[in-house]
Amino acid sequence: MWLCRGICFLLCLSLFSGAVRAAESKADAHERILEIWHKGQYTNALTAANEAIAAAPKEARLWHLRAQMRAILHDDTNALADLSAALKLEPDSTFLIRERAVEYFRLGRFTDSVADFDRLNELLPTNAPQNWQRGISLYYANRFAEGRKQFELHQTVNPDDVENAVWHFLCTAREQGVEAARKQLIPIAGDTRVPMKEIHDLFAGKAKPEDVLAAAKANDTSPEGQRYQNFYAHLYLGLYFEATGNQSLVREHILAALPLGSPEDYMTDVARVHAQRLLASAQSK
């Protein structure tokens, strides 16, 4: 009896030690890949990620890491494939579902993006008001009534955001017309970002496009801050002209915004996606 217990104990200890070493090995691989990436050796980091995934194909963390790297390098198709592989391993990971919803949006797959955001809301219903990105995907999926409701929901947790009011306007305008959207424009008082006040006034019919551009250029700030302000001025001017039906000015301002956006800013993805839609529409004609 003692001998059997001793053998079982040694066997369990051996298995446990092996599991610990495997876990440490996976963690080490993750950190090693990150270290290579942070040195700017992107090709080498991807090669290391490929090798790590081949050695541990059921480690969702490694698939996710490679997806993040590919997304930063604008390899969105392969980033999406990696996120899908990670989700097969962890199908209820809300973090992975959100990231894939964003990746679908970047690829112009708006219906798929909404489906993932809907799944996210099912798993985290209390977090549904925070999912403003879902509203943008709904807008581009031409599901304007649902988009309007999402922005109304987001207003309950973010009451001082001009951008939320503008996207609510954009959805309402496509659903009910510009005048109806103007009457329902959400009032905003606390957004101090430049030139958000002028953007809100523009959509309210109280300012002109040149007022938005002047405000973006007049504020004394750093070169980076100036780029930020001009990016948002041109982006929302482009969206304003889309709502009001001036397609030539839509193109002018969206393309002006595109090189000014920060790679880390989700709205830069929005500008790029919008520009791609404009290009596809022009080619189809």
Provide DSSP, 151-192. HHHHHTT-TT-HHHHHHHHHHHHHHH-HHHHHHTPPP-----
Residue 176 has a pLDDT of: 98
Q: Is the pLDDT confidence value at 96 over 50? A: yes
Query: What's the mean pLDDT in 211-220?
Result: 90
Query: CA 251: distance to chain centroid?
Result: 22
Query: What's the mean pLDDT in 139-153?
Result: 98
> Angle, nearest 10°, between helix axes 196-204 and 162-176?
20
Q: Is the pLDDT confidence value at 13 over 70? A: no
Kindly report the average pLDDT of the chain as a whole number: 90
Name the pLDDT band for 32 (thresholds 50, 70, 90).
very high
Residue 282 has a pLDDT of: 82
Convert the pLDDT of each residue in 263-273 to its tens digit. Answer: 889 999 999 99
How far lies 180's CA from each of 55, 225, 244, in Å? 58, 34, 12
Q: Is the pLDDT confidence value at 1 over 70? A: no
Query: What's the mean pLDDT in 188-192?
Result: 94
**Residue 244: which residues within 8 A CB-CB, separation 6 or more?**
178
Convert the pLDDT of each residue in 64-82 to its tens digit. Answer: 999 999 999 999 999 999 9
Name the pLDDT band for 4 (thresholds 50, 70, 90).
very low
User: Could you tell me the maximum CA-CA distance found in the chain, to the nearest angstrom?
Assistant: 89
Query: What's the mean pLDDT in 8-21?
Result: 35
Q: Is the pLDDT confidence value at 8 over 50? A: no
Residue in 133, 184, 135, 188 with CA at minimum distance from that of residue 160: 188
Residue 216 has a pLDDT of: 96
**Residue 276: which residues within 8 A CB-CB, separation 6 or more?**
108
